[in-house]
Amino acid sequence: MTEKERFATSARRGLPAVLLVLLLNASWSSSADDFDTALHEADVLAWRESRRASLMSPTGFLNLAGLYWLEKERSTFGSAADNDLVFPASAAAYIGEFRLTGDGVVMVPLSGVELYSADEPVADALLVADDTSENPAMVTHGSLAWTIIKRDGRYAVRLRDFEHPALASFPELPYFPIDPSWRVEATLERYEEPRKVAASTVIEGLGWSPESPGVAVFEKDGRTHRLEAYSLGERLFFVFGDRTNGRETYPAGRFLYAAMPGEDGRLVLDFNRAYSPPCAFNDFSTCPVASPRNRLPIRVAAGELFDRDAYVGTTIDH
């Protein structure tokens, strides 16, 4: 099956999920008069279904099989143990090499190795556009596929296996009961100018520098709380911690999106949509962790719980 067929098949099977993704990105009115409890519950349930479909999709996080940082100017790769980057056993013993250049990462394949990109055979050197570019490239080799990611000025090879065993055994995700009281109205207190902030990730020594437009301020049970927001396209992104971390939810915190507010700064934070970062499922993600200022001194008993049985880890035979 070609790369294009894999993605087309996924799209056909997931047509309802595409509609659910619209619900995933939908924003609720900030007016309490417009709130409908039944509609809210249906929306959260639809979001949960879309969340699972996204994790299991070809570009989701359950099929990740490796993350290889490119530390040298040239790195050989393949399944043989004497490669610089050792791929799973299903790969050819020697595939080629990655070269770090001023333009990015160039892949130079060995003769006779079957590789494809955009469903076209790759026989010569290929500049593999990374995930920060307008059109990131993916290279396939049997059931394996890889892309180049760029983080904090560093490059890495992100490997996927479309036949990853986790796809057949992944359990249902656990959640706190849906609680409308955790759908809170907030106000974005904007900085005079958006600012770059320094954030840590689960990778030691790897930073993240998102842009923050300001801080979301909300009240819960008579107390005022503040979360620094990050701008991601037309939405706000939050990485937050709370007192459920470690025992009930993922230790490093959870993620939450909200619609970008208008000039009045009003927005809704629905913590029923809070979810675990990709690193809750495998060792091959580069997730940011909640900063000290975004660790709430309360229990946020809403959203996704952390299920250690759902952790994929490193189950691929390397």
- Tell me what percent of the residues of the chain surpass a pLDDT of 90: 78
Q: What is the 3-class SS of the chain, one letter each residue? A: CCHHHHHHHHHHHCHHHHHHHHHHHCCCCCCHHHCCHHHHHHHHHHHHHHHHHHHHCCCCCCCEEEEEECCCCEEEEECCCCCCEECCCCCCCCCEEEEEECCEEEEEECCCCCCEECCEECCCCEEECCCCCCCCCCEEECCEEEEEEEECCEEEEEEEECCCCHHHHCCCCCECCCCHHHEEEEEEEEEEEEEECCEEECCCCCEECCEEEEEEEEEECCEEEEEEEEEECCEEEEEEECCCECCCECCCCEEEEEECCCCCCEEEEEHHHCECCHHHCECCCCCECCCHHHECCCCCCCCECCCHHHCCECCCCC
- The reply to whether 268 and 144 lie within a common domain is no
- The reply to whether 56 and 185 lie within a common domain is yes
In CATH, what number is assigned to the domain containing residue 124?
A: 2.60.200.20
- Tell me what percent of the residues of the chain surpass a pLDDT of 70: 87
In this prediction, residue 314 carries a pLDDT of 52
Residue 313's pLDDT band, with cuts at 50, 70 and 90, is low
Mean of pLDDT values over 7-31: 39
- The reply to whether 253 and 287 lie within a common domain is yes
- The reply to whether 210 and 118 lie within a common domain is no
- The reply to whether 301 and 268 lie within a common domain is yes
To the nearest 10°, report the CA torsion of 51, 56, 58, 60.
50
Residue 317 lies in a domain: no
Q: Is the pLDDT of residue 33 over 80?
A: no
Tell me the pLDDT of the chain averaged across its residues: 88
Q: Is the pLDDT of residue 32 over 60?
A: no
In this prediction, residue 207 carries a pLDDT of 86
Residue 34's pLDDT band, with cuts at 50, 70 and 90, is low
In this prediction, residue 206 carries a pLDDT of 87
- The reply to whether 283 and 195 lie within a common domain is yes
Residue 318 lies in a domain: no
Mean of pLDDT values over 225-250: 97
Residue 16 lies in a domain: yes
Provide the number of structural domains found in the chain.
2
Write out the residue range of the structural domain in which residue 195 sits.
3-60+171-310
In this prediction, residue 312 carries a pLDDT of 65
Residue 20's pLDDT band, with cuts at 50, 70 and 90, is very low
In this prediction, residue 204 carries a pLDDT of 81
Which of the two residues, 28 and 201, has the higher pLDDT score?
201
Which of the two residues, 47 and 307, has the higher pLDDT score?
47
Q: Is the entire prediction scored with pTM above 0.85? A: no
